[in-house]
Chain A
Amino acid sequence: NAGVTQTPKFRILKIGQSMTLQCAQDMNHNYMYWYRQDPGMGLKLIYYSVGAGITDKGEVPNGYNVSRSTTEDFPLRLELAAPSQTSVYFCASSWGLAGGYEQYFGPGTRLTVT
């Protein structure tokens, strides 16, 4: 199993550009999550999904959109990139609510917006 994979690993965007961060998992997990990690800080939840077709906002959703058309994939869309979105983005997945089940994290995408 590859676990949770993320592409790209690094990306530089200009202000106002858009992009999609890809996330896939091959563990048949129902729950998937997107976090951001700003320098010197812990992770903050952007969006999560409890299954295909179902998504919900986390703590910091502004400036992002998500979709979940399949169990495996959970892409994160940035529209009109801003310098404040410079961060490392982590995707994660779990069997169920992460309190009872371990979250498995991808390797992260480092995004710089200039």
Chain B
Amino acid sequence: AQTVTQSQPEMSVQEAETVTLSCTYDTSESDYYLFWYKQPPSRQMILVIRQEAYKQQNATENRFSVNFQKAAKSFSLKISDSQLGDAAMYFCAYRRYNNNDMRFGAGTRLTVKP
């Protein structure tokens, strides 16, 4: 079974600084997708960024980027120039290629200090 581990229950960052959230996963598959979702207090799940395992290049979306280390099964999220609106729960998720069952980590609560 695939599992996703987020070892940091809580993180905090000063506004305008950079923070990295960690995620590791366990799989024997070679084709899969990885995701970071943001869940603000409104509870709405919002896709932040995704990475296809076959792509060596790390995904980026504006201030959000990932460090994907396939051999180490690591998928960290870097948030640059942190903003107050980035405060939320962040979930790392894994999905096997052509499979509907997405597995989520337990989440990291990010606080942004003004």
Contacts and interface: CB of A to CB of B under 8 A. Distances in A.
Interface of A: 31, 33, 40-45, 48, 50, 56, 58-59, 88, 90, 92, 97-100, 102-103, 105, 107-108
27 contacts: A40-B106, A40-B107, A41-B104, A41-B107, A42-B4, A42-B103, A42-B107, A43-B104, A45-B100, A45-B102, A50-B100, A58-B101, A59-B103, A88-B43, A92-B45, A98-B100, A98-B102, A99-B32, A99-B33, A99-B52, A99-B96, A99-B98, A102-B50, A103-B102, A105-B46, A107-B42, A107-B43
Interface residues of B, number: 26
B100 A33 contact: yes
B47 interface: yes
B36 to A, nearest CB: 12
Nearest to B107: A42
B13 interface: no
B99 A45 contact: no
B106 A42 contact: yes
Contacts of A33: 100
Contacts of B4: 42
**Which one of A40, A41, A56, A98 has the greatest number of beta carbons of chain B within 10 Å?**
A98
Interface in B84-100: 91, 93, 95-100
Nearest to A56: B100
Contacts of A99: 32-33, 52, 95-99
Contacts of B106: 40-42
A31 B45 CA distance: 17
A90 B42 CA distance: 13
Contacts of B46: 105
B91 A98 contact: no
A6 to B, nearest CB: 10
Interface in B17-76: 32-33, 42-47, 50, 52
